[in-house]
C-alpha cells in the first residue's frame, strides 16, 4: 500500500508551522505502518488536544480527536471494547504529562496494549508558546519571559517507573530510527511509550534563541547518543536515544480475558 | 489614560490595577493572552504578585482557592473545556465563600472542535453559585473586572466576568485605563472574612451533616440576594471616580416598545444599531441587555418586560432538549407576572457564527408578525 493511501488528502495542507517536527513524525509513523503491512481498518488513532493531536485528522484510520489530556483514557475504553484493534495515541508533552499526567502513569501501570507517542517539543504551541512540564529549568516561554523555574520530567524514566513495558526515545533528526522504534512499539504486546524530541521553531526555538528548525534538528543530532554509548560515559549531559525497556509483562486485556475464563470454570 | 487594547488585555490591565496577589491558569485559546500579560507583570515587577502555571484548569482553580483561603486577592481565567474541567472546583469556591474573580472567555464546547464564540460554556455553570456578569465591549470588560473584585469581596462570593471569544477577547478598542490612585480609592485592599490564620486557627471544609447543610446553602442564597443591590451601590462609587456606570440590566428604548429584544454580550452592540434603524422607520422596538445573569434579576426583568406586548430573546447557546438558556430564564422570571407577554426564543450565532444586523432584523419582524411562539426556539441562522 502506498504511504499516501494512509492519509486523508482532503485535510491537507496541515496546520503545522513551517519547520515543525510533527510532520516528520507523521511521515515516520506512516512508513512504519506501511512496512508492517497493516490495514487501515485495524488501526485506531486516539488523540487529545494540541498541535501534535491534530495528526489524527491527517491519517485515514479510525480516528478520535478527544479532550485535552484524556486521549489515553478514551483509548483505554476503545481497547477494552475492541482488543483486536491496534491503538495508537499521539500526544504532546503538555497533553500527556500536564493535564493528562495521571492518565499516562495509570495506563503504564495497567500495561494495556497501545502505543503512546509523545511528541516532546517542550512547549504549548497551539495556544501560543506557554511553558509546559517539559520546557525545563532555565528556558523561556510566553509565560516565563524571565526564565522558567519549573523542572522538567524525564519521560522515559517516568514511564519505566510507572510500569510501561516498552519505553524508547528518539528525535526528528533520526528518522530511520524513529520508524524502526515505532514498528517495535506497535508490535509490542503492552503499553509502549515512544518519546520523540520534536522541534517547535515558532515558539520554543524562537523564545530560546535556538535558530532555525534545521539548527534545532542539528542539536538533536549533537546532544543525543545511543543508549549505553561511550560518548555518554564521557559526557553525561547527552540525552540517550533508543529502546530502554522491551519486556514481556502480562497485558491488561488478555489478563482480563483469563480472569473471566477462570471465574467461569465449571459453569 | 486612553490606550488601544484588545479585550484580553483590558482584563489583564484591570487585574494589574486591582493589585491581585496570586493568580493561576492553564493555557486555553482564546483566554491565553490574558494570563500571558499577567505572568509578565508578575515577573518584571509591574505587579507584586505570584503567577502559578499549573497542569490543568482544575488545578488552576484549586490553586486560587488555596490562595484565597489564605486571605489574598486572587484571579484566574479560562474558557470552554477549561471551565467545564473546573466545574467541581467552582462549587467549592462559592460554598467556601471565597471572593475569587475569573475571566471566562465564551467559547464553544466540542466535539466538533471549535474555538469560537458561544455562551453555552458559562451558562452551563449557572448552578455553581458564581455571580456571572456579561460584557459588551472592551471598556465594559475592564470596568466590570474592577467592579467584580469589589462585588466579590462585599458578598464573599466568586465572580465570573464573561466576554465573547475573539469578538471581544481579540478585538482592539480605544479603552480608558484608569490610573492606580483612582483604582485604589475605589478598591481598598482585601480584608478577608474567612482566612487561614496562625492567630485564629480554624477548620475549613468540615463535614456539614443534614442538621447544618440546608442553613449553609441558605446563607449562600442570602448573599446572592444582596448582589443586585450591592452592584447598584458600587455604581454610585464608581461613577464619580471613573465617569461610567453599569446596570444589571440595561433597557434601551423599552418604555413604549411593543417588541423588546433581549440578549447579552457583543450582539447587544449590533442590536443597538438595529434598534436605531428600526426606530427611524417608526418601529416600536426596544433592547434589553443582560449584564447580570447570576443572580438573575427577576424583579427587574418583570418590571422592564412584564407589560410589553412581545419579548424576543436571542440565545447564542442551547440546552439540548429544551431551548435557549436565556429564553428559559426569562420565561421563568415572567411566569408569575399577570398577563405577561409571550416570549419568542431564537437561536443564533453558535460556535462563532456572526449575529448580523440582518439576522436581528429578521428576529424582530418574525416576532412582530407572529401572534404566539409556535416553538420554544427558532434556529434563525440555520443553513439549509
Domains in chain A (CATH in brackets) are 3-264 (3.40.50.970)
**Residue range A5-25: mean pLDDT, rounded:** 96
CA distance A127 to chain B (A): 6
**Residue range B116-136: mean pLDDT, rounded:** 98
Reported confidence tier of residue A3, pLDDT bands at 50, 70, 90? confident
pLDDT at B7: 98
The span from the CA of A15 to the CA of A112, in Å, is: 31
pLDDT at A92: 97
Residue B150 reports pLDDT greater than 80: yes
* Minimal Cβ distance to B27: which of A124, A144, A146: A124
The span from the CA of A189 to the CA of A249, in Å, is: 8
pLDDT in tens, B170-208: 999 999 999 999 999 999 999 998 889 888 888 888 899
pLDDT in tens, B232-273: 999 999 999 999 999 999 999 999 999 999 999 999 999 999
pLDDT at B205: 86
Q: Where in chain B is the domain with CATH 3.40.50.970?
A: 2-242
Query: How many other CB atoms sit within 10 Å of the CB of residue A200?
Result: 29
A-chain CB neighbours of B43 within 8 Å are 144-146
Residue A98 reports pLDDT greater than 90: yes
- Please give the sequence-ordered ranges of beta strands (E in DSSP) within B119-171, or none if there are none: 131-134, 159-164
CB contact under 8 A, A94 and B32: no
Whole-number mean pLDDT of chain A? 96
| pTM for this predicted structure | 0.93
CB B51 within 8 A of CB B34: no
Q: Where in chain B is the domain with CATH 3.40.50.920?
A: 249-379
Q: What is the ipTM of this complex?
A: 0.87
The span from the CA of B176 to the CA of B141, in Å, is: 11
CATH number of B2-242: 3.40.50.970
Provide the CB-side half-sphere exposure for A180 (13 A, CA): 10
Phi then psi for B300, rounded to 5 degrees? -65, -40
Fold of B249-379: Rossmann fold (3.40.50)
Cα B96 to the center of its chain, rounded Å = 20
List the single residue in B with minimal CA-CA distance to A141: B36
Whole-number mean pLDDT of chain B? 96
Q: For chain A, what percentages of helix, strand and coil (3-state, to nearest 5) are there?
A: 45, 20, 35
Q: DSSP letter for A17, please.
A: P
Q: DSSP letter for B195, please.
A: -
Query: How many other CB atoms sit within 10 Å of the CB of residue A259?
Result: 10
pLDDT at B195: 87
Phi then psi for B220, rounded to 5 degrees? -65, -45
Number of H helices, E strands in chain A: 11, 10
A-chain CB neighbours of B35 within 8 Å are 143
Amino acid at each position: 500500500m502506498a504511504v499516501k493511501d494512509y492519509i486523508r488528502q482532503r485535510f491537507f495542507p496541515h496546520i503545522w508551522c513551517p519547520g515543525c517536527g510533527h510532520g516528520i513524525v507523521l511521515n515516520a509513523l506512516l512508513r512504519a505502518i506501511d512496512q508492517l503491512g497493516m490495514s487501515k481498518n485495524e488501526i485506531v488513532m486516539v488523540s487529545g488536544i494540541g498541535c501534535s493531536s491534530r495528526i489524527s485528522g491527517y491519517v485515514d484510520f479510525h480516528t478520535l480527536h478527544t479532550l485535552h489530556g484524556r486521549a489515553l483514557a478514551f483509548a483505554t475504553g476503545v481497547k477494552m471494547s475492541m482488543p483486536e484493534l491496534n491503538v495508537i495515541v499521539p500526544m504532546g508533552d503538555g497533553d500527556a504529562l500536564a493535564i493528562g499526567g495521571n492518565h499516562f502513569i495509570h495506563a503504564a501501570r495497567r500495561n494495556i496494549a497501545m502505543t503512546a507517542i509523545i511528541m516532546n517539543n517542550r512547549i504549548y504551541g497551539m495556544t501560543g508558546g506557554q511553558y509546559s512540564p517539559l520546557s525545563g529549568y532555565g528556558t523561556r516561554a510566553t509565560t516565563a519571559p524571565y526564565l522558567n523555574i519549573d523542572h522538567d520530567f524525564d519521560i522515559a524514566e517516568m514511564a519505566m517507573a510507572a510500569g510501561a513495558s516498552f519505553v524508547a526515545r528518539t528525535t526528528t533528526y533520526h528518522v530511520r530510527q524513529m520508524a524502526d522504534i515505532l514498528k517495535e512499539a506497535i508490535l509490542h504486546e503492552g503499553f509502549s511509550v515512544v518519546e520523540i524530541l520534536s522541534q517547535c521553531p515558532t515558539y520554543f526555538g524562537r523564545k530560546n534563541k535556538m535558530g532555525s528548525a534545521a539548527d534545532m534538528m542539528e542539536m538533536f543530532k549533537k546532544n543525543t547518543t545511543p543508549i549505553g554509548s561511550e560518548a555518554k560515559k564521557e559526557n553525561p549531559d547527552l540525552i540517550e536515544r533508543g529502546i530502554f525497556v522491551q519486556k514481556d509483562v502480562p497485558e491488561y486485556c488478555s489478563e482480563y480475558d483469563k480472569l473471566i475464563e477462570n471465574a467461569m470454570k465449571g459453569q | 489614560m486612553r490606550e488601544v487594547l484588545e479585550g484580553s488585555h483590558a482584563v489583564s490591565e484591570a487585574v494589574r490595577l486591582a493589585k491581585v496577589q496570586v493568580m493561576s491558569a492553564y493555557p486555553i485559546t482564546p483566554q491565553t493572552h490574558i494570563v500571558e500579560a499577567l505572568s509578565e507583570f508578575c515577573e518584571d515587577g509591574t505587579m507584586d504578585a505570584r503567577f502559578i502555571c499549573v497542569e490543568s484548569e482544575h488545578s488552576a482553580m484549586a490553586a486560587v482557592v488555596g490562595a484565597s483561603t489564605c486571605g489574598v486577592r486572587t484571579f484566574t481565567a479560562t474558557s470552554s473545556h477549561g471551565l467545564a474541567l473546573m466545574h467541581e472546583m467552582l462549587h467549592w469556591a462559592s460554598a467556601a465563600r471565597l471572593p475569587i474573580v475569573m475571566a471566562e472567555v465564551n467559547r464553544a464546547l466540542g466535539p466538533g472542535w471549535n474555538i469560537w464564540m458561544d455562551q453555552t460554556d458559562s451558562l452551563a455553570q449557572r448552578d455553581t453559585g458564581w455571580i456571572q456578569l456579561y460584557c459588551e465591549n472592551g471598556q465594559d470588560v475592564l470596568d466590570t473586572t474592577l467592579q467584580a473584585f469589589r462585588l466579590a469581596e462585599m458578598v464573599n462570593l466568586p465572580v465570573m466576568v464573561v466576554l465573547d471569544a475573539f469578538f471581544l477577547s481579540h478585538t482592539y478598542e480605544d479603552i480608558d485605563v484608569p490610573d492606580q490612585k483612582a483604582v485604589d480609592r475605589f478598591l481598598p485592599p482585601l480584608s478577608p472574612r474567612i482566612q487561614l490564620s496562625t492567630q485564629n486557627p480554624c477548620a475549613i471544609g468540615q463535614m456539614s451533616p443534614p442538621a447544618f447543610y440546608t442553613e449553609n446553602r441558605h446563607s449562600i442564597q442570602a448573599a446572592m440576594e444582596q448582589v443586585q443591590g450591592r452592584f447598584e451601590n458600587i455604581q454610585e462609587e464608581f461613577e464619580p471616580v471613573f465617569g461610567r456606570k453599569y446596570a444589571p440590566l440595561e433597557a434601551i428604548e423599552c418604555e413604549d416598545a411593543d417588541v423588546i429584544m433581549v440578549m447579552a454580550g457583543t450582539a447587544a452592540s449590533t442590536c443597538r444599531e438595529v434598534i436605531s434603524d428600526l426606530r427611524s422607520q417608526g418601529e416600536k422596538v426596544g433592547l434589553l441587555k443582560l449584564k447580570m445573569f447570576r443572580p438573575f434579576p427577576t424583579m427587574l426583568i418583570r418590571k422592564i418586560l412584564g407589560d410589553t406586548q412581545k419579548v424576543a430573546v436571542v440565545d447564542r447557546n442551547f440546552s439540548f432538549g429544551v431551548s435557549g438558556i436565556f429564553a428559559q430564564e426569562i420565561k421563568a422570571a415572567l411566569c408569575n407576572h399577570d398577563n405577561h407577554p409571550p416570549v419568542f426564543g431564537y437561536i443564533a450565532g453558535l460556535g462563532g457564527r456572526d449575529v448580523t444586523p440582518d439576522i436581528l432584523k429578521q428576529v424582530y419582524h418574525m416576532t412582530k408578525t407572529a401572534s404566539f411562539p409556535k416553538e420554544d426556539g427558532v434556529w434563525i441562522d440555520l443553513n439549509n
